[in-house]
C-alpha cells in the first residue's frame, strides 16, 4: 500500500492492475483509517483516470453480494452527489417514474454523505427495507420493475471506507464511482455528476464497463441532476461513440425555475415531496424537475427516442398512478417478506 501511496503523492497515475491491487488491500487486509483517507485524498488531488475508476469499480463489484439478474435491459439512475444544492431526492423519485413506464431500475444508493438526505434515508422514512437480499432483489426487478440496493448492505467490505468518507465529508472518488458499483449487471445508465469537466471521462468509464447506452448529465448550477434553472450539459454513450450535447428547459418543452424551488429538507420532508410528486400534487418546479430527469432516464434506457418523448412517458407514468403503485408495492414487499 505504501508503494501506491508514494506514487499517488507524486501525482503519478496508477495502472489498472495497481489500482486493483490497492483496492484489494483496502478491502481484504488491515489498513488504518489514515491510510484509507490518504489514498482517497491523494487520488482526488491528482485527479482520477478512466483506468483507475474502472479498476476500482470492477474490484468492488467482485467483492459485492452476488446478485443474480434474470431481467434484461436493466438500468440505474443516480447522481454522484457533491453538488451542494441541497435539493430533494430527485433521482430516487424519478426511479419510480421510470419503473412506472416499464423501465427496469436497479436503484443503488446510500445514506447521505455530502448532502442532507441520501436515497436510503428517504426510502427508509417511507417504509422501504434496506436489507433486501439477492433473491428479494431479483424478484422485485421481475415483479415491480424496481429494486433498491443499499450500498452498505450489498458491499459489506466497504464499512471502513464508508466511515472514512463520513469523517472526510468531501467528495472523493467514491462519489464518482458510487453510481457505477451496482452489483446488478446494468445495460443502461443515467448518471449525474457535479463536475462538468468529467462528463466525457465518466461516459468513457461506462463504455469500458460495457454499458450499451448511457447519459451523463451536469445540470445548470453544476447540479448532479438535470436542472430547469438553465443550460444543461450532457454526454451520450451510444453505439460505442460518445457525443456531447447541451439543452435548455425551453428546448425540451419545460419552464425555467430557480434552484431554490427544488430545495429539500430532512428525510421526512423529502419523503413527503417524493410522495407528492408521485401522487400528482407536488409544486410545479418539483414535478417538472422529476419529469425532466425521468425523461432523460427513458432516453438513456432507449425507451424513448428523444428527451421530449421521454418526458411524455414520465408524465403518463405519474398521471396513470403507475409510478405511485411501484412505490407502494416496494413498501408492501418490505412489510410482507419473510426474514
Tell whether 174 is covered by a domain. Answer: no
35 pLDDT exceeds 90? yes
Task: Mark whether 34 and 148 lie in a shared domain.
Answer: no
Residues 223, 307 share a domain:
yes
Tell how far CA 263 is from the center of its chain.
19
> Any idea what the CATH number is for the domain that residue 232 is in?
3.40.1030.10
23 and 83 inside one domain: no
- 236 within a domain of the structure (yes/no): yes
Q: How far apart are CA 59 and CA 27, in angstroms?
A: 9
Q: What is the pLDDT of residue 319?
A: 98
pLDDT score of 301 = 98
pLDDT value, residue 295: 98
Query: Can you tell me the mean pLDDT for 130-142?
Result: 91
- For residues 63 and 157, the answer to whether their CB atoms sit within 8 Å is yes
Give the contacts of 260 (CB within 8 A, at least 6 positions apart).
none
Residue 295 CA to residue 98 CA, distance in Å, equals 8
Q: Are residues 194 and 297 in the same domain?
A: yes
Asked if residue 62 belongs to a domain, the reply is no
**Is 300 part of any domain?**
yes
Give the pLDDT confidence score for residue 112 in this predicted structure.
65
**Whole-angstrom distance, CA of residue 249 vs CA of residue 240:** 28
Q: Are both 137 and 204 inside the same structural domain?
A: yes
Q: Which of 114-123, 193-202, 264-273 bottoms out in mean pLDDT, i.e. has the lowest?
A: 114-123
What is the model's pTM? 0.93
Of the two residues 173 and 233, the one the predictor is more confident about is 233
Residue 54: inside a domain: no
Annotated binding site for 5-phospho-alpha-D-ribose 1-diphosphate: 79, 82-83, 87, 89-92, 107-115, 119
Residue 314 near residue 290 (C-beta atoms within 8 A): yes
Classify 77 as helix, strand or coil. Answer: strand
- For the chain, count helices (H), then strands (E): 15, 7
Average pLDDT of 129-146? 93
Q: What is the Cα 221 distance to its own chain's centre?
A: 19
The DSSP symbol for 198 reads G
CA 255 from centroid of its chain's CA atoms: 25
**Structural domain contains residue 100:** yes
Q: What is the largest CA-CA distance in the chain?
A: 58
Residue ranges at the known binding site for Mg(2+):
91, 224-225
pLDDT at 159: 86
Which residues carry a binding-site annotation for anthranilate?
79, 110, 165
Residues 189, 42: one domain?
no
- Is residue 171 included in any domain, yes or no? no
Does residue 52 form part of some domain? no
- In this predicted structure, what is the pLDDT of residue 67? 86
Q: Assess whether 5 and 143 both reside in one domain.
A: no
Q: Are residues 42 and 81 in the same domain?
A: no
Contacts of residue 255, defined as CB under 8 A and 6 or more positions apart, other chains included, come to 228, 249, 284, 288
Contact indicator for 89, 268 with CB cutoff of 8 Å: no
Report the percentage of the chain scoring pLDDT > 70: 97
pLDDT tens digits, residue range 40-89? 999 999 999 999 999 999 999 999 988 877 788 999 998 887 667 789 99
Query: Which pLDDT score is estimated for 165?
Result: 85
Q: Are 326 and 262 in a shared domain? A: yes
> What's the confidence (pLDDT) of residue 36?
94
Residue from 202, 195, 208, 156 nearest 179 by CA: 202
pLDDT at 318: 98
With left for phi above 0 and alpha for psi between -120 and 50, is residue 56 left, alpha or beta? alpha
- Res 131 pLDDT > 70: yes
Give the residue numbers spanning the domain of 237.
74-153+184-335
Contacts of 336 (CB under 8 A, 6+ apart): none
pLDDT for 175 equals: 79
Q: Are residues 87 and 209 in the same domain?
A: yes
Question: Which has more pLDDT, 14 or 85?
Answer: 14
128: confidence class by pLDDT, cuts 50, 70, 90? very high
pLDDT number for residue 72: 85
Strand partners, 237: 214, 242
Residue 246's φ and ψ, nearest 5 degrees, are -135, 150
Q: What would the grid cell of residue 130 be?
A: 434496506
Q: What's the total number of domains in the chain? A: 2
pLDDT at 115: 55
Q: Which residues are annotated as a binding site?
A: 79, 82-83, 87, 89-92, 107-115, 119, 165, 224-225
DSSP 210-269: T-SEEEEEEBTTTBSS--SSS-EEEEEEETTEEEEEEE-TGGGT-----GGGGB--SHHH
Q: Which three cell numbers stand for residue 167?
A: 469523517
Neighbour order of strands in the sheet with 74-79: 146-150, 104-109, 74-79, 188-192, 213-218, 232-238, 241-247
What per-residue confidence (pLDDT) applies to 205?
Answer: 96
- Compute the distance between CA of residue 143 and CA of residue 235 in angstroms, rounded to an integer: 32
Does residue 196 share a domain with residue 148? Answer: yes
Whether 259 and 331 map to the same domain: the answer is yes
Helix, coil or strand: residue 183: coil
Average pLDDT across the chain, whole number: 93
Amino acid at each position: 500500500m505504501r508503494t501506491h501511496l508514494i506514487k499517488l503523492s507524486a501525482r503519478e497515475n496508477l495502472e489498472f492492475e495497481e489500482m486493483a491491487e490497492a483496492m484489494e488491500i483496502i478491502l481484504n487486509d488491515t489498513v488504518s483509517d489514515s491510510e484509507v483517507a490518504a489514498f482517497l485524498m491523494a487520488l482526488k488531488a491528482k485527479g482520477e483516470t478512466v483506468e483507475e475508476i474502472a479498476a476500482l469499480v470492477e474490484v468492488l463489484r467482485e467483492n459485492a453480494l452476488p446478485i443474480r439478474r434474470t431481467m434484461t435491459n436493466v438500468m440505474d439512475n443516480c447522481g454522484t452527489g457533491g453538488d451542494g444544492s441541497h435539493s430533494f431526492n430527485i433521482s430516487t423519485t424519478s426511479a419510480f417514474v421510470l419503473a412506472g413506464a416499464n423501465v427496469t431500475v436497479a436503484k443503488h444508493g446510500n445514506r447521505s454523505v455530502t448532502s442532507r438526505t441520501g436515497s436510503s434515508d428517504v426510502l427508509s422514512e417511507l417504509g422501504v427495507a434496506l436489507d433486501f437480499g439477492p433473491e428479494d432483489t431479483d424478484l422485485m426487478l421481475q415483479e415491480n420493475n424496481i429494486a433498491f440496493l443499499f450500498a452498505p448492505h450489498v458491499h459489506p467490505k466497504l464499512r471502513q471506507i464508508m466511515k472514512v468518507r463520513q469523517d472526510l465529508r468531501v467528495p472523493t472518488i467514491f462519489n464518482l464511482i458510487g453510481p457505477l458499483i451496482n452489483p446488478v449487471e446494468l445495460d443502461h445508465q443515467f448518471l449525474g455528476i457535479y463536475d462538468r469537466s468529467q462528463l466525457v471521462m465518466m461516459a468513457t468509464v461506462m463504455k469500458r464497463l460495457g454499458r450499451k447506452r448511457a447519459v451523463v448529465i451536469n445540470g445548470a448550477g453544476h447540479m448532479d441532476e438535470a436542472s430547469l434553472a438553465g443550460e444543461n450539459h450532457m454526454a451520450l454513450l451510444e453505439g460505442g461513440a460518445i457525443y456531447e450535447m447541451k439543452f435548455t428547459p425551453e428546448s425540451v418543452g419545460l419552464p425555467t425555475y430557480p434552484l431554490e424551488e427544488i430545495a429539500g429538507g430532512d428525510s421526512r420532508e423529502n419523503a413527503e415531496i417524493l410522495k407528492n410528486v408521485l401522487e400528482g400534487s407536488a409544486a410545479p418546479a418539483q414535478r417538472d424537475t422529476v419529469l425532466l430527469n425521468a425523461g432523460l432516464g427513458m432516453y438513456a434506457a432507449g425507451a424513448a427516442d428523444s428527451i421530449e418523448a421521454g418526458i411524455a412517458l414520465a408524465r403518463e407514468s405519474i398521471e396513470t398512478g403507475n409510478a405511485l403503485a411501484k412505490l407502494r408495492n416496494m413498501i408492501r414487499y418490505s412489510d410482507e417478506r419473510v426474514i
